[in-house]
């Protein structure tokens, strides 16, 4: 016997019948109804794909802990950008992996650097996607910290500002339309804004990694970028993941210093901050689904423990539902492909 509870009154605990007037299942009955009332829709143009750029030609070096992601030489990065543009992906954010590292991270601001080379190649293709630079020094310093060191071994905030500003100007000169300072140095947005304006790049936008936790979820990235700190950790400049109010102060400051967009990172562990940022500011809000967030879903999917496509779609939808209008994700190409196939 099957009970049709949907269509008849059910008995309350007193035994009296209850008439159900609100039936939320009415709008869940068919795929068309569900699609009509869907609140959060992903679109390829809101996705940004990270690219790791290393020296060389025709090099594609897979990254073990990030299935489908590779370190690319500048020519290959340009090819990949063209493929992403073809899929409708909204942007690329570039990370550089230089051959030589030094205490100041000089390659970061070299006009001949790998990232600069890749930006020039991508821009010459005139693709309909936005070019974004991660502006940091940890991939370029031999000690792996995000700025030059003071004699006591701590990261020298104000010396880092000079290097970050030089790096942002060089990235803008090479063709980055947005620079994204991620070093979590105090005053980095103001320093970069002033340097860009002075160098004639007043139209280059700043996407501030405003709230960036010292997160365990950056692990695979540090393998990919060979940027794990040689000693210590990043907790004297990145934020304690336990703190949310402090994240709002970081965002307030970055807005005051002239940020054009705010970026929150990681994404899924910080949905509360994405929602709070959306409510508090009228700037575009971006979120970075970082390497560890990607790797954990991919690893579980590889083992058959999760449906990778559904889990990835759900995770990115949750990030958007929380309030992000832009998502940086290693799954950008996959998501764009799935979205195209669904149509």
What letter would DSSP give residue 137? Answer: S
Q: Based on the shown chain and the rule CB under 6 A, indicate whether residue 218 belongs to the binding site for ligand PBG.
A: yes
Please tell me whether residue 221 binds ligand PBG under the rule CB under 6 A. Answer: yes
For residue 49, the cross-strand partners are 92
Q: Which residues of 258-270 are buried (b: 16+ CB within 10 A; e: fewer)?
A: bbbbbbbbbbbbb
Minimum Å gap between C-beta 287 and ligand PBG is 12
- Distance in Å, CB of 58 to ligand PBG, minimum: 25
Separation CA 97–CA 113 (nearest Å):
9
Q: Which stretch binds ligand PBG (CB under 6 A): 9-17, 118-126, 218-226, 278-286?
A: 218-226
Decide if 265 is catalytic.
yes
Burial call 48-78: b when 16+ CB within 10 Å, e when fewer: bbbbbbbbbeebeeebebbeebbbbbbebbb
Q: Which is nearest to 186 in space by CA: 239, 262, 107, 263?
A: 239
Binding flag, residue 237, ligand PBG (CB under 6 A): no
- Among positions 138, 174, 179, 192, the unique one binding ligand PBG when judged by CB under 6 A: 138
User: Judged by CB under 6 A, does residue 182 bind ligand PBG?
Assistant: yes
User: Does 146 sit near ligand PBG (CB under 6 A)?
Assistant: yes
Backbone angles phi, psi at 226, to 5 degrees: 50, 50
Contact between 136 and ligand PBG by CB under 6 A: the answer reads: yes
Give whichever of 39 and 231 is closer to ligand PBG, judged by the CB atom. 231
Is 101 catalytic? The answer is: no
Q: Which of 226, 230, 295 has its CA nearest to residue 266?
A: 295
Residue tagged active-site, from 101, 163, 234, 265: 265
52 scored as a contact of ligand PBG (CB under 6 A):
no
H helices present in the chain, as ranges: 31-36, 74-86, 114-124, 157-174, 188-198, 219-225, 245-256, 271-280, 291-302, 308-322, 332-342
**Residue 255 region by backbone torsions, left for phi larger than 0, else alpha for psi between -120 and 50, else beta:** alpha
When asked if residue 77 is in the footprint of ligand PBG (CB under 6 A), the reply is: no
Angle of the 308-322 helix axis to the 271-280 helix axis, nearest 10? 30
Q: Which of 155, 290, 297, 316 binds ligand PBG (CB under 6 A)?
A: 290
Residue nearest to ligand PBG (CB): 221
Q: Select the span of 79-87, 130-138, 244-252, 270-278 touching ligand PBG (CB under 6 A).
A: 130-138
Residue 134 engages ligand PBG in binding (rule: CB under 6 A): yes
Residue 167 within binding range of ligand PBG, rule CB under 6 A: no
Does position 117 interact with ligand PBG (CB under 6 A)? The reply is no
In this complex, which beta carbon is closest to ligand PBG, that of residue 134 or of residue 177?
A: 134
User: Among 212, 225, 261, 336, which one carries the catalytic annotation?
Assistant: 212
Contacting range for ligand PBG; rule: CB under 6 A; set: 67-75, 80-88, 216-224, 308-316: 216-224
Q: Give the residue numbers annotated as catalytic, written as ranges.
A: 212, 265
């Amino acid at each position: 016997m099957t009970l049709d509870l949907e269509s008849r009154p059910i008995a309350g605990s007193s035994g009296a019948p209850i008439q159900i007037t609100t039936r939320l299942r009415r709008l869940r009955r068919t795929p068309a109804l569900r699609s009509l009332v869907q609140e959060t829709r992903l679109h390829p143009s809101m996705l940004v794909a990270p690219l790791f750029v290393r020296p060389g030609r025709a090099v594609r070096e897979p990254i073990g802990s990030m299935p489908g992601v590779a370190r690319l030489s500048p020519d290959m990065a340009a090819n990949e950008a063209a493929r992403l543009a073809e899929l409708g992906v909204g942007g690329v954010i570039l990370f550089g992996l230089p051959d030589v590292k030094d205490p100041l991270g000089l390659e970061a601001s070299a006009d001949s650097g790998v990232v600069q080379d890749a930006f020039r190649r991508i821009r010459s293709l005139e693709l309909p996607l936005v070019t974004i630079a991660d502006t940091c020094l940890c991939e370029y310093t031999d000690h792996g910290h995000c700025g030059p060191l003071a004699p006591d071994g701590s990261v020298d905030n104000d010396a880092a500002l000079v290097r970050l500003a030089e790096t942002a100007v060089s990235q803008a000169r090479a063709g980055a339309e947005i620079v994204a300072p991620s070093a979590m140095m105090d005053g980095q947005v103001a320093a970069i804004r002033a340097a860009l304006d002075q160098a004639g790049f007043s139209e280059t936008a700043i996407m501030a990694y405003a709230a960036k936790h010292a997160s365990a979820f950056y692990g695979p990235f540090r393998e990919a970028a060979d940027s794990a700190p040689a000693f210590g950790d990043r907790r004297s400049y990145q934020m304690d993941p336990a703190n949310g109010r402090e994240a709002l102060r970081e965002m307030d400051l970055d807005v005051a210093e002239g940020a054009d967009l705010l970026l929150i990172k990681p994404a899924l562990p910080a949905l509360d901050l994405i929602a709070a940022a959306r409510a508090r500011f009228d700037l575009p809000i971006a979120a970075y689904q970082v390497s560890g967030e990607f790797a954990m879903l991919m690893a579980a999917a590889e083992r058959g423990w999760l449906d990778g496509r559904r889990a990835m779609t759900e995770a990115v939808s949750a990030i958007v539902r929380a309030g992000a209008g832009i998502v940086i994700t290693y799954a950008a190409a996959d998501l764009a492909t799935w979205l195209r196939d669904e149509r």
